Structure 1
């Protein structure tokens, strides 16, 4: 008979998962993989399309970091990240909504999987897309969404500066119910205060818009002694932390990469200031991320 060929169409992650089509006062939302499947004939002109299906591969991300033999942990982590992208497949998920016969033996063989590693789902894959859908329709779903919560200004501070109050007593902040702003101010103010001698801090996970990184860079540029322990082995944040580590080093911070065979998961900041001619340490100890 005629030769049967198989082809894979990769959907770039930068594309939105949803396609919106407006018709009159109605709005239709279509998954991008369904639209690609519907118009597959335009991609493979001259071929008869027997069937199409959407699949997702889960790869082994639990690779070994060779810490003992690594001269530079930063270089070893970068090598590890490259290997992770091509790690061995451990699961194959297939969207089986169409309930059609599928020729997937070639795919299973290519990925070196066993039949028990294949999961058929009667619905779309990767349901994290629901977050994107809610954002996409947020202007039309106001009645179905919780109001955005605004953290309260900590009453324990009153009108006091965090450093002035810390000289009198310990302060307890209850996040996320109370605002994180006093902690940001704690580090930002230290970066600008002429009486600050040193800032030492641990970073495990850092949000992309965290003002803490800018404050630490600013402190180093202002001549403070800044030491930062960036935990490069924070799971699935390794790439981000490599980026932050390089950025802090370029700004003049002394950056450490954590301890061999251990993860530094603590969130600690030490600020040393000169107060009335004496060196006074101020410590923030927390359970969240900076």
Structure 2
């Protein structure tokens, strides 16, 4: 992987999915819709059950593949292969952990379940929208993508895929300016009774990323303007905040929407100031 700056998976490619063995009630093609609460579900856990192939309408530049809101276990591994029309392999990710390390060395107290592995504890996965993203070192002109999943010991007894995405990888020329913010947008509701007692209704909360880009005008017009035009507020793309960072990947890469369409400003000759605000798809 050579990407160092923020990378955007856009545009997403139209695809048809085939292969594996999937529940009749939750077929594989459900994973093409970004309605994460309505996932595709495998009929079993054998690797043959959970492998599938995405076939594009045409040959397209592809460098980003994402599995969003999956239920893969801590032992799961994923392999992504970019294929040509004759099923020749153009690029192979090899087997990668579905849940890589998310803690720095010695950042946890001795005895913590994650102290040795630095990977999330199984209990943490219940509160996380798991997103696995494979970025290749460059875009390849691919006709198909083969995704293999090895999670034969998943305690759920099946693999769920909320949304799968295949896209062109666009690394920004320059990262967002210092002062960019990341966090969550609170959605839970609080109500205070006449007696002053607070009651709460817990709701899912999306991650947000907000900042400002100073970018060449040609890049702004060819990427950001196109995103505004084609995505509006409902379209989906893949956001990878720190491609070269080994830690925290499950926390810094997700399916996203534009939270607003903010106009750009002239910053200096041939460069524009571009405010951005991305919101995670739930």
Q: What TM bracket, shorter-length normalisation?
A: under 0.3
- Structure with the greater alpha carbon radius of gyration: 1
Q: Which has the higher contact order (CA 8 A, sep 6+)?
A: 2
TM-score, with structure 2 as normaliser: 0.20
| Structure with greater proportional helix content | 1
